[in-house]
Amino acid sequence: MLIQGFLQTAPGVFAIFYHHALGKTTAKKADDQALSFILGTEIATAVYFLITYFVITFFVAENHFLNDTFLWVMSGIFIALGIFTFFYYFKLGKKNKGTTKLFLTRHTAENFLYHATHNKNRTDTILLGFLATTAEFVFTLPLFIISSVEILNLSPRFNFIFIIAYIVVATIPLFTIRTLFRTGHNLAEIQKLRVKKKLLFRIVLSISYIALGVLTFISGVI
């Protein structure tokens, strides 16, 4: 949940989208559109998590692959993601020092920027939130997999409570940005704050992934 809450593609797109929505319409309508964006991120997280959960449940029921080798592979993936998020998640270098440019290709980033500033209706906004979350699927799929494995060890009545909690935590950064806009902050101030916290994001993401990798490896050994 911590990792999901610190990923930055959806918050970055959301901040730009909300800023332009405020410039084109009333504060009330912009806020309504912001909630549609958040709904899109919730739908994406729920869909991907539930699909993963049901796939993992099927393999467990059929006694497939959930063995030590599987855990060691997942451990390697988490450690690789931990290294990647520290060095490559944000684009580094002098020219990117004051920015929060991410690993996304220029074409993808420009596409998000265009759609964030040219939304026409609620459906487009929900889709934008969905796609902004999908862009980080490579970072979230391993989380969905290992979370699904752990959920199966819980009492059945807690399974979907955990998934709902996961989805809620994933939207906290978006609600935080929404609150900042609603309390009079502008895009420049929010972006300045995100740049200031960039190192923190890198460290938290990296340490969290590596910690997951180590714990998963230990589980495979024990």
Q: What are the sequence ranges of the domains in the chain?
A: 2-221
13: nearest Cα among 104, 95, 92:
104
Residue 209 pLDDT: 97
- pLDDT tens string 168-192: 888 999 999 999 999 999 999 999 9
Q: Residue 166 pLDDT more than 90?
A: no
Distance of alpha carbon 64 from alpha carbon 46, whole angstroms: 24
Residue 64 pLDDT: 57
Distance of alpha carbon 73 from alpha carbon 136, whole angstroms: 20
Which amino acid would we find at residue 73? V
Contact at 8 Å (CB) between 38 and 172? no
Contact at 8 Å (CB) between 174 and 17? no
Residue 108 pLDDT: 93
Residues in the chain: 222
- pLDDT tens string 58-116: 877 666 556 778 888 999 999 999 999 999 999 988 888 888 999 999 999 999 999 99
- pLDDT tens string 5-63: 899 999 999 999 999 999 888 899 999 999 999 999 999 999 999 999 999 888 776 66
Task: Provide the β-strand partners of residue 102.
Answer: 90
103: nearest Cα among 92, 111, 95:
92
- pLDDT tens string 144-155: 999 988 888 777
Which residue is listed with tokens 């939130």? 129
Residue 69 pLDDT: 82
Taking the alpha carbons at both ends of the chain, their separation in whole angstroms is 25
Q: Which two tokens stand for residue 183?
A: 């309390």
- Write phi, then psi, for 7 (nearest 5 degrees): -65, 145
Residue 96 pLDDT: 84
Cα 77 from chain centroid? 17
Contact at 8 Å (CB) between 176 and 40? no
